[in-house]
């Protein structure tokens, strides 16, 4: 792993202690089939130093506030989460940013909180779950939110949630259902014309867009038949999305993503701490192994700098003041992770 990459991570989560307590009171101890991980700013910075990450944009993962059926409670929790994220960002200038949590599926309340978070808290964008209690992005009734976001040229980080259907025994939702959830949201955002009517919104799809790059032509033909639009126009709408590399920079997935996405629309993501540190190392090594220097630099840093200009200058390098023992330990971790990545690649055994 080379620290010259100086990555900007657009897919890193925060799990504040008060949020964990609220979830526990609601009987929620996991997200997507994975136990809620521990989180602190210090542990996040340690992971960032290990991966050579200069800055990370924090977001709240599923279930967001969607588990609360009382609209006032959901809006209050969203405000508290956003105030917390803004405080973490202020305490660590140059190292963290944040995507605001919105109390969906209430589009009006979400629009109100988006204005506060973007205008007052200086959030770097907003997080929207692909579905909220079964209501998907792109459904009817969300226009007030889209107008607010389009007026501000906002970045929308689309993160999957659990499917509005019973899980299948033996398949944790994060392993497969999350990919379908993102794909469903992307399909409706294109099918129902959101990306065309609100062209100033920049949408980032988590996990390389789920199945979007792989199934894009199939979906485009379907939408074209359904709407009378040109399949080329529909494909261009799908390609207008940004995509992060969280858990997706494998020798199978990465070439498909790069063949599909517009230049400049692929961004580094780790999905930490829901994706544990070894997973973050594994997929970061995928980028470092398969990409030449130019594309590696673009995906690791410069594409994100174009989307988030405030992170482009003046950010400190990761971990300059780390103790020698920490530097040696992390160097050993990186070497072991590189060796493991090479050992498990097809055709190398």
- Output the DSSP codes for 58-126: EE--TTTTTT--SHHHHHHHHHHHHHHHHHHHHHSTTTEEEEEE--TT-HHHHHHHHHIIIIIS--SEE
Average pLDDT over residues 138-149: 98
d(CA 13, CA 15): 7
Encoded tokens for 147:
């107008």
Helix (H) or strand (E) holding 145: helix 143-151
- Please say whether the dihedral angle defined by the alpha carbons of residues 193, 119, 99 and 291, taken in this order, is positive or negative: positive
Give 111's pLDDT tier (boundaries 50, 70, 90): very high
CA-nearest of 245, 242, 252, 291 to 270 is 245
User: Are 270 and 47 within 8 A, CB to CB?
Assistant: yes
State the chain's mean pLDDT as an integer. Answer: 92
pLDDT at res. 335: 54
Please give the average per-residue pLDDT across 194-207, as a whole number.
98
- Other Cβ atoms closer than 10 A to 108: 14
**How far are the Cα atoms of 99, 171, 188, 234, 243 from residue 202, in angstroms, in the given order?**
13, 32, 16, 17, 11
Instruction: State mean pLDDT over 249-268.
Output: 96
**SS3 for 202?**
strand
Q: Is residue 337 scored above 70 in pLDDT?
A: no
Percent of the chain with pLDDT over 90: 87
pLDDT digits (tens, 9 = 90+) for 119-131: 999 999 999 999 9
pLDDT-derived band at 314, boundaries 50, 70, 90:
low
pTM of the model: 0.91
Q: For residue range 219-251, list pLDDT tens digits in order.
A: 999 999 999 999 999 999 999 999 999 999 999
186-190, 213-217, 218-222, 315-319, range with the lowest pLDDT:
315-319
Helix then strand then coil, in percent of the chain rounded to 5, is 50, 15, 35
pLDDT digits (tens, 9 = 90+) for 16-35: 999 999 999 999 999 999 99
Own/partner pairs, 81-87, CB within 8 angstroms, 24+ separation: 81/16, 81/19, 82/113, 82/116, 82/117, 82/121, 82/123, 83/121, 84/14, 84/16, 84/18, 85/14, 85/58, 85/60, 85/121, 85/123, 86/117, 86/121, 86/122, 86/123
pLDDT digit string, tens, across residues 319-334:
455 565 555 555 555 5
Structure tokens that stand for 66 in this block? 């969607």
Mean pLDDT of 179-193: 98
pLDDT of residue 312: 87
Determine the pLDDT at residue 185. Answer: 98
| pLDDT score, position 349 | 43
272: which DSSP letter? B
Portion of the chain with pLDDT greater than 70, in percent: 88
For the chain, the residue count is 349
């Amino acid at each position: 792993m080379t620290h010259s990459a100086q990555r900007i991570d657009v897919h890193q989560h925060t799990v504040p202690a008060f949020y964990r307590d609220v979830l526990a009171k609601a009987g929620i101890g996991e997200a997507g089939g994975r136990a809620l991980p521990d989180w602190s700013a210090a542990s996040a910075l340690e992971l960032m130093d290990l991966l050579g990450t200069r800055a990370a944009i924090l977001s709240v993962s599923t279930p967001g506030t969607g588990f609360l059926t009382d609209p006032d409670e959901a809006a209050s929790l969203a405000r508290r989460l956003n105030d917390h994220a803004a405080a973490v960002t202020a305490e660590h200038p140059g190292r963290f940013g944040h995507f605001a949590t919105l109390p969906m599926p209430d589009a009006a309340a979400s629009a109100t909180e988006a204005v506060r978070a973007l205008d007052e808290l200086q959030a770097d964008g907003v997080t929207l779950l692909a579905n909220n209690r079964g209501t998907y992005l792109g459904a009817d009734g969300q226009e007030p939110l889209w107008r607010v976001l389009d007026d501000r040229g906002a970045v929308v980080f689309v993160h999957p949630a659990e499917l509005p259907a019973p899980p299948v025994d033996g398949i944790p939702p994060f392993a497969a259902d999350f990919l379908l959830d993102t794909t469903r949201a992307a399909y409706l955002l294109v099918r129902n014309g959101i990306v065309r009517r609100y062209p100033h919104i920049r949408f980032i799809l988590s996990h390389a867009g789920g199945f979007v790059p792989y199934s894009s032509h199939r979906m485009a033909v379907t939408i074209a038949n359904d709407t009378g639009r040109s399949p080329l126009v529909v494909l261009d709408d799908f390609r207008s999305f940004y995509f992060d590399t969280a858990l997706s920079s494998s020798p199978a997935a990465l070439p498909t993503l790069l063949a599909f996405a517009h230049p400049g629309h692929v961004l580094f993501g780790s999905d930490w701490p829901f994706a544990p540190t070894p997973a973050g190392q594994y997929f970061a090594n995928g980028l470092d192994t398969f990409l030449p220097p130019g594309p590696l630099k673009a995906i690791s840093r410069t594409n994100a700098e174009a989307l988030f200009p405030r992170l482009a200058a003046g950010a400190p390098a990761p971990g300059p003041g780390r103790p020698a023992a920490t530097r040696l330990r992390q160097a050993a971790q990186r070497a072991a992770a590189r060796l493991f990545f090479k050992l498990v690649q097809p055709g190398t055994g």
